[in-house]
Amino acid sequence: LAVKGVQALSPYQPGKPISELARELGLNPSEIIKLASNENPLGPSEKAVAAVEHALTDLCLYPDGNGFELKQKLSARLGVGADQITLGNGSNDVLEVIARCFAGSDSEVVFSQYAFAVYPLVTQAIGATPVTVPAKDWGHDLDAMAAAVTEHTRLVFVANPNNPTGTVHDADAIEAFLGKIPEDVLVVLDEAYCEYMTGKKDPDGVALLNRFPNLIVCRTFSKAWGLAGLRVGYSLSSPAIADILNRVRQPFNVSSVALAAATAVLDDEDYLQRSRAANAAGLKQLEEAFDQMGLRYIPSSGNFIAVEVGPQAMGVYQALLAHGVIVRPIAGYGMPNHLRVTVGLPAENEHFIDALSKALAAAG
């Protein structure tokens, strides 16, 4: 019954839930370590939790459909107009609304091999033609992506940093790329992991918005801000694009509780800094362990890392599960030899590394 594009799509594969594995192993959920969904290992910000508790008294009311307060805060923080912001139920929601607004069944949508799984999903769901451009050194080949744009292309998705590879392009490369894309083709620069970037020339799509009216930057509260469960993301664009997105999104797509938490967490700079510091330390811990074990990995700018464990990756994944550790197999992304591991707390990383050594030894 479904239309052609919908029939062709493979569903998004989330990480295995903790409760499911705990049941299977007969363990307490607190004994399971989940490093599979790029969640923030610190737990939520106390300021966000307090705001949620406060917001509970208004559960019987619809949320502010325009997200006024959150947009004011974002606007002040990022130096953009509130009329440039579109809020979403997670940034996945915004990605989907963008596809629905700007592409159709006669359109081509360009993205990279190994790019975030939601791009092909939203493309196929609207019956558009996905154009997958081969990756270069696991990352986006921006020149090849620009060259793949045809008169039928309406959208180009660039994840920077990319999930699941963790690869990133610097500000100059992104700017040069945008310079090659025709103005009537929209570029979605997905910066879900941008808060983890610590280099001198971190990409910052926001700084490019004025120069490129066809640019949409997407960000999220799910990662460094630690609110994945509440689902809040947003896009930044020209006011004209935001106006269109805001017409099409669901009128109350972000819940009152989510709005309250996101608004409050923006005042918790300490939480953000702790997220960044913990991630940098955890990445280092994992990289050093992989080096010692002689495992190759893709250097990452996100809160996760793709490690090469060989053709037996599925077996290693299963063995890790048996040790109570959930990571993410990424064969579905075309990376059957890698596992993607989210950066955890030091003890979680340690536990994972220990389980990985045993799993690899058992796999021979």
Binding residues for ligand PMP, rule: CB under 6 A, are 38, 90-92, 116, 159, 163, 190, 192, 220, 222, 228, 233
Q: Which is nearer to ligand PMP, 192 or 217 (CB)?
A: 192
Cα separation, 161 vs 169, whole angstroms: 7
Minimal CB distance to ligand PMP: which residue?
Answer: 90
Cα separation, 34 vs 134, whole angstroms: 31
Q: Which is nearer to ligand PMP, 138 or 355 (CB)?
A: 138
Q: Can you say how many angstroms the Cα of residue 21 is from the centroid of all Cα atoms in its chain? A: 24
Q: Which is nearer to ligand PMP, 73 or 140 (CB)?
A: 140
Nearest partner of 76 among 275, 263, 273, judged by Cα: 263
Strand partners, 85: 236
Place of tokens 């990605």: 95
Nearest approach in angstroms of CB 36 to ligand PMP is 11
Nearest partner of 102 among 82, 81, 86, judged by Cα: 86
Q: Which is nearer to ligand PMP, 225 or 319 (CB)?
A: 225
Strand partners, 33: 325
Is the distance from CB of 92 to CB of 163 less than 8 angstroms? Answer: no
Q: Which is nearer to ligand PMP, 192 or 319 (CB)?
A: 192
Nearest approach in angstroms of CB 333 to ligand PMP is 11
Q: Which is nearer to ligand PMP, 89 or 349 (CB)?
A: 89
In order of 52, 162, 184, 233, 244, the CA distances from 153 in angstroms are: 42, 21, 9, 25, 19
Q: Is the dihedral of CA 119, 124, 126, 129 positive or negative?
A: positive
Q: Which is nearer to ligand PMP, 306 or 355 (CB)?
A: 306
Strand partners, 112: 133
Nearest partner of 63 among 248, 230, 224, 268, judged by Cα: 230
Nearest approach in angstroms of CB 233 to ligand PMP is 4
Q: Which is nearer to ligand PMP, 38 or 84 (CB)?
A: 38
Cα separation, 237 vs 209, whole angstroms: 6
237 Ramachandran zone, left/alpha/beta (phi>0; psi -120 to 50): beta
Helix (H, G, I), strand (E, B) or coil at 361: helix
Nearest partner of 305 among 359, 273, 362, 352, judged by Cα: 352
